[in-house]
């Protein structure tokens, strides 16, 4: 790859990030190294990014391209996923495409005298070309100067290495096994047998912010680029590297670097703070204000002998506010309404708007509002509010907190769902499918049109379909044929993408029901997902108050034809999992699935997400099954990173749409799960007590 | 100030985008009017009073945003981004409407990027700046100008109030709507 080509690709990468966050970032973001984590140029520092920050960065020097996604997982721990392209690095002169993971742990925060200290692992589970570890200290001198010194192992011990100080503890630290020795087949496995072993060496450097946004960086590198030099990829004449960086107002950081006394390198990075959407709290219009109750009493619909006009007024007003009234009953002083929220991404906001509309519509003697949220025809949660509280707290400084304190949140299993005739909705929209990390074309895409339809004849019964017509794309163009020894349950993805269309992405009949308090049920039949069809059943226990949920699903499915038409292939499988979900109170959510996967392999999936209260999620997952690392093939086991961005985070407009990207280093057949739409945990998410409380700031919005 | 007002009048005449249906209904019902502008955006519009309950008025703008005021003093916003959900300005209000200087405390609750309602407490110094004659429509009004200088460790702002002594209300003001929306400029419109 040439420099202009690099800029083209790097610009595309960063342009995407800038597009989504034109105003989000500010100048307090941390300086990132060529490896995408806090650091100098090639060398790391002991600094950290602000908690929760997500960074995309790209660096290039003579044939070496590194694209990194990094995330400050907790205030102390950050992680990075990197996709590197190195021209001519392979023994036969071919280009190397390499995926790697890093971790960076802050051990000590910086004090008045003491420096910040951090420990890091680079490329701890890839092919090991960047395999190295470090212990590093950084200290700020005044507001503009930071000094860094560190001790490196592995690749970071290339220059002036000396006997490992850890050798004092044990002889086994003295030599470092070759982590790349197992070849492509062992990638993905942790190389902990090599960590902090072999020679160590010292590195260091400084950063100096000499003007607003402008920084000078200098480092003494302990990395000799031994293999790159040997293979003629990089020439290194000096251990000293220098760089100039500039961070624009909008958060884009651009750098030019003089490296190894022989090369010019460039860098580009952008940092996002998921806690700060484009428009905090949204840009949608104002909710209705609560009217004086005597004026509401005097309204024409409250002067009628029956309540038909009042009900119609309520239905109409809720509809304008994005809520579908599914049922209503007035018993003495209490009004019970069932609503389906079709617009608001935060349930508390839907609740607040519904309550205000009720206050402005219902007769004056009604004092208690019982709002039941209905999802897919099944009642989920009932929140009881007092009309007096609404009137009293609407404009009070602590109105949100007091409203929550007075709200009663209960499971709605006993609420009888009420239908109001059949409902039918259609949608026509463009779609974009992305496929990553094919060595011939690291990003492939398919673009087309999709037609969706949902028909519900009666509460809880839902027929839905998604028909796609690809228009342009190259996912199916890959020449790589699956070499998997397992049943090809996922690795033939390109064959599924290659058809002319139309493709039946999904065509199902589903029934959602409440078998008992805190229990949810689902049965889905049909073409469940692009590659499999059959029958899927699920039950979920999710108490309205509580952080733990347990679920179970069982599916008898058959593999679909590659053209995604109506036909099936010969392979069928019984797959299913027992799942446990736990929402920690520090913003993390964990999920463990244990069961049988699509290829018939038995095992478990572990997933951990950092969940922001605005719905932005960054997570990672890994699946280990009885399919051996060798049978799995490249990557050894299934793993990946998931990023979910609510569309409202990007647009400021109220919508429940979510942009979701799963980044897998490689997609193969082991540990593959069926992808059924509207799984019960997702469906009920947002409406249980803790989640209602998390978004409660929007009650009055 | 004058430059801003003439600019705002210019902009008010060329509003774009769809008009909120509730606003149209309020216009037809000849609901009370107030001129509202976001200073940083250089815009100003005529807002219509949607509700008045216990002395607290909500004014809706043509694009569906709203400001909540009490005797002309800002208590909340909706639709401006990082909205001021509600406020406790009882102490300030008592002094401003009686045109007295003193030190008071006020609380504004803002909506943040994670949908939390975050209260911010400010210490404020209210000062009487003296009489000012202002024009509301064709009327010349004799008002008293007061300033309220508010700070906390993270933020600071200065509110300006032109109080009409004969009505005990703020008829023109420049008030802080929060870190995201900045200063809001509000002004009574002659009936």
Q: What is the pLDDT of residues A7-27, one digit of tens each?
A: 555 455 454 444 444 434 344
Mean pLDDT for A691-698 is 96
Would the pLDDT of A125 be above 80?
A: no
pLDDT score recorded for residue A188: 66
Residues of B in contact with A397 (CB under 8 A): 86-88, 107-109, 119
Contact B71, B78 (CB under 8 A): no
pLDDT of B3 over the 80 cut: no
Residue of chain A whose alpha carbon sits nearest to that of B178: A280
User: Is the pLDDT score of A478 beyond 90?
Assistant: no
Rounded average pLDDT over A161-183:
76
Residue A606 has which token pair? 């572990």
pLDDT exceeds 70 at position A127: no
pLDDT tens-digit series, residues A521-545: 999 999 999 999 999 999 999 999 9
What is the structure's pLDDT at A181? 54
What integer pLDDT is reported at residue B1 of this predicted model? 34
> Would you call A400 an interface residue with chain B, using a CB distance cutoff of 8 Å?
yes
Q: Which band of pLDDT confidence, cut at 50, 70 and 90, is reported for residue B17?
A: low
With cut-offs at 50, 70 and 90, classify the pLDDT of residue A570.
very high
Q: Does A127 contact B at CB distance below 8 Å?
A: no
Q: Comparing A198 with B157, which gets the higher pLDDT?
A: B157
Average of per-residue pLDDT across A651-660: 92
Question: Is A576:A555 a contact under the CB 8 Å cutoff?
Answer: yes
Q: Which two tokens stand for residue A567?
A: 């036909």
Using alpha carbons only, give the angle B49, B54, B56 rounded to the nearest 5 degrees.
40
With CB atoms and an 8 Å threshold, state whether A395 touches B56: yes
Supply the pLDDT for residue A50.
93
Q: Taking 90 as the threshold, does the pLDDT of residue A182 lie above it?
A: no
Lowest-confidence region among A371-385, A470-484, A571-585: A470-484
Return the residue in B115, B177, B179 with the most chain A beta carbons within 10 A, the one to mutate for interface testing. B115
Search chain B and give the residue with CA nearest A278: B113
- The pLDDT value given to residue A183: 57
Confidence grade of residue A587 (pLDDT, cut at 50, 70, 90)? very high
Domains of chain A in start order, with CATH, are 3-272 (2.40.160.40), 293-418 (3.30.300)
Residue B7: predicted pLDDT: 35
> E strand or H helix at A317, and its extent?
helix A308-320
Query: Of A96-105, A617-626, B12-21, B108-117, which range is least confident?
Result: B12-21
Query: Which region, left, alpha or beta, applies to residue A162 given φ > 0 means left and ψ of -120 to 50 means alpha?
Result: beta
Beta strand spans in A564-635 (E) = 568-583, 588-596, 602-611, 617-625
Q: Which domains does chain B have, with CATH numbers?
A: 2-188 (2.40.360.10)
In eight-state DSSP terms, residue A65 is: E
For residue A162, pLDDT over 70 is answered with yes
ipTM: 0.90
What per-residue confidence (pLDDT) applies to A184?
A: 57
Residue pLDDT, tens place only, A280-308: 999 999 999 999 999 999 999 999 988 89
Selected for mutation to probe chain B from A297, A395, A611 (highest B CB count within 10 Å) is A395
Provide the greatest CA pair distance for chain A.
Answer: 94
- Name the burial class of residue A510, with classes exposed (0-12), middle (13-18) and buried (19+) by CB atoms within 10 angstroms of its CB: buried
| Chain B touched by A23 (CB under 8 Å) | no
| pLDDT more than 70, % of chain A | 94
CB contact under 8 Å between B85 and A285, yes or no, is: no
The pLDDT confidence band at residue A632, using thresholds 50, 70 and 90, is: very high
**B6 to chain A nearest CA, in Å?**
27
Predicted local distance difference test score (pLDDT) of residue A622: 96
Question: Cβ separation of B81 and A281 shorter than 8 Å?
Answer: yes
Q: Does the distance separating the beta carbons of B53 and A275 come in below 8 Å? A: no
Least confident of A229-243, A322-336, A397-411, B65-79: A229-243
DSSP-assigned states of every residue in A95-147: PEEEEEEEEEEEEE---SSSPEEEEEEESSSSSSTT-EEEEEEEEEETTTEEE
Per-residue confidence (pLDDT) for residue B18, from 0 to 100: 78
Are the C-beta atoms of residues A95 and A86 closer than 8 Å to each other?
yes
The predicted structure's pLDDT at residue A476: 80
Nearest to A313 by CA among A331, A294, A333, A288: A288
Peptide bond into A502 cis (omega under 30): yes
Predicted local distance difference test score (pLDDT) of residue A498 = 81
Region of poorest pLDDT, from A72-86, A411-425, A671-685: A411-425
State the average pLDDT for chain A: 90
Q: In what order do the strands lie in the sheet with A323-331?
A: A323-331, A334-341, A368-375, A378-386, A408-411
Query: Which pLDDT tens digit goes with each residue over A41-74?
Result: 999 999 999 999 999 999 998 888 999 999 999 9
Q: What is the pLDDT, as a whole number, of residue A168?
A: 80
Q: For residue A480, which of A443, A441, A533 has the smallest C-alpha distance?
A: A441
Paired tokens of B105: 């405390």
- State whether residue A346 sits within 8 Å of chain B by CB: yes
- Nearest residue in A to B63, CA atom: A285
Global pTM value: 0.90
| Range among A95-109, A295-309, B107-121 with highest mean pLDDT value | B107-121
- Measured in angstroms, the CA of A622 and the nearest CA of chain B are apart by 28
């Amino acid at each position: 790859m040439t420099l202009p080509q690099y800029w083209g690709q790097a610009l595309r990468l960063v342009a995407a990030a800038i597009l989504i966050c034109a105003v989000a970032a500010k100048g307090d973001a941390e300086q990132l190294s060529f490896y995408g984590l806090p650091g100098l140029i090639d060398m790391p520092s002991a600094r950290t990014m602000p908690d929760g920050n997500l960074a995309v960065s790209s660096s290039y020097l003579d044939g070496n391209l590194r694209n990194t996604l990094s995330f400050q997982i907790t205030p102390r721990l950050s992680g990075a996923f990197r996709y590197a392209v190195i021209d001519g690095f392979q023994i036969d002169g071919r280009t190397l495409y390499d995926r790697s993971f890093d971790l960076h742990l802050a051990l000590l925060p910086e004090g008045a005298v003491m420096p910040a200290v951090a420990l890091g692992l680079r490329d701890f589970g890839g092919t090991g070309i960047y395999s190295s570890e470090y212990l590093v200290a950084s200290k700020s001198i005044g507001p503009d100067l930071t000094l860094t010194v560190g001790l490196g192992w592995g690749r970071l011990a290339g220059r002036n290495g000396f006997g490992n100080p850890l050798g004092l503890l044990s002889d086994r630290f003295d030599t470092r096994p070759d982590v790349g020795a197992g070849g492509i087949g062992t990638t993905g496995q942790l190389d902990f047998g090599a960590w902090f072993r072999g020679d160590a060496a010292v590195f260091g450097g400084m950063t100096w912010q000499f003007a607003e946004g402008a920084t000078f960086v200098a480092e003494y590198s302990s990395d000799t680029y031994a293999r790159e030099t040997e293979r003629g990829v990089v020439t290194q004449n000096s251990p000293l590297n220098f760089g100039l960086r500039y961070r624009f107002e909008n958060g884009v950081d651009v750098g030019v670097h003089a490296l190894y006394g022989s090369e010019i390198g460039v860098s580009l990075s952008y940092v996002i703070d998921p806690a700060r959407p484009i428009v905090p709290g949204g840009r949608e219009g104002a909710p209705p204000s609560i009217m004086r109750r005597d004026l509401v009493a005097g309204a024409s619909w409250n002067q009628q002998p029956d309540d038909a006009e009042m009900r119609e007024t309520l239905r109409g007003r809720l509809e304008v506010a994005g809520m579908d009234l599914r049922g209503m009953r007035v018993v003495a002083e209490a009004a019970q309404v069932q609503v389906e929220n079709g617009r608001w991404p935060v349930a508390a906001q839907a609740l607040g708007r519904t309550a205000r509309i009720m206050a402005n519509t219902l007769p004056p003697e009604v004092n208690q509002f019982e709002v039941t949220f209905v999802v897919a025809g099944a009642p989920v949660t009932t929140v009881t509010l007092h009309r007096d509280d609404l009137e009293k707290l609407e404009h009070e400084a602590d109105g949100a907190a007091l409203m929550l304190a007075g709200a009663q949140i209960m499971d709605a299993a006993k609420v009888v769902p009420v239908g109001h005739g059949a409902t039918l909705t259609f949608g026509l929209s463009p779609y974009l499918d992305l496929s990553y990390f094919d060595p011939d074309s690291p990003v492939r895409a398919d673009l087309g049109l999709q037609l969706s339809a949902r028909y519900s004849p009666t509460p809880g019964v839902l027929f839905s379909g998604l028909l796609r017509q690809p228009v342009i794309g190259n996912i199916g163009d890959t020449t790589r044929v699956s070499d998997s020894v397992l049943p090809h349950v996922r690795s033939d993805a390109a064959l599924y993408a290659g058809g002319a269309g139309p493709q039946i992405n999904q065509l199902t009949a589903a029934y959602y029901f409440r078998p008992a308090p805190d229990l949810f049920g689902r049965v889905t039949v049909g073409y469940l997902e692009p590659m499999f069809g059959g029958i899927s059943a699920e039950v979920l226990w999710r108490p309205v108050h509580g952080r733990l949920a347990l679920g179970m699903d069982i599916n008898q499915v058959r593999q679909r034809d590659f053209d995604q038409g109506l036909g099936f292939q010969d392979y069928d499988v019984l797959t299913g999992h027992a799942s446990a979900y736990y929402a920690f109170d520090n913003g993390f959510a964990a999920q463990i699935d244990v069961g049988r996967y699509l290829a018939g392999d038995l095992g478990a999936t572990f997933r951990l997400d950092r969940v922001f209260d605005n719905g932005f999620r960054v997570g990672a997952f890994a699946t280990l099954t009885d399919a051996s690392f060798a049978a799995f093939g490249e990557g050894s086991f299934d793993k990946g990173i998931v990023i979910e961005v609510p569309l409202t985070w990007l647009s400021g407009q109220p919508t429940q749409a979510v942009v979701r990207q799963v980044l897998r280093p490689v997609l193969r057949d082991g540990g593959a799960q069926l992808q059924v739409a509207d799984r019960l945990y997702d469906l009920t998410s947002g409406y249980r007590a803790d989640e209602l409380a998390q978004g409660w700031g929007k009650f009055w919005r | 100030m004058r430059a801003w007002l003439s600019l705002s009048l210019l902009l008010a005449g060329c509003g774009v985008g769809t008009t909120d249906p509730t606003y149209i209904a309020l216009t037809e019902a000849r609901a009370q009017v107030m001129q509202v502008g976001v200073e940083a955006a250089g815009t100003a519009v005529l807002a219509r009073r949607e509700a008045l309950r216990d002395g607290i008025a909500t004014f809706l703008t043509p694009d569906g945003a709203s400001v909540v005021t009490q005797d002309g003093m800002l208590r909340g916003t909706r639709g401006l981004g990082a909205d001021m959900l509600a406020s406790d300005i009882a102490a300030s209000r008592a002094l401003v409407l009686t045109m007295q200087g003193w030190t008071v405390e006020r609380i504004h609750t803002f909506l943040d990027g994670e949908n939390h309602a975050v209260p911010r407490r400010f210490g404020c110094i209210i000062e009487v700046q003296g009489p000012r004659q202002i024009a509301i429509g064709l009327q010349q009004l004799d008002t008293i100008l007061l300033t309220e200088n508010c700070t906390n460790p993270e933020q600071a702002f200065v509110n300006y109030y032109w109080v009409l002594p004969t009505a005990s209300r703020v008829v023109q003001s420049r008030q802080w709507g929060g870190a995201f929306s900045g200063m809001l400029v509000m002004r009574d419109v002659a009936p």
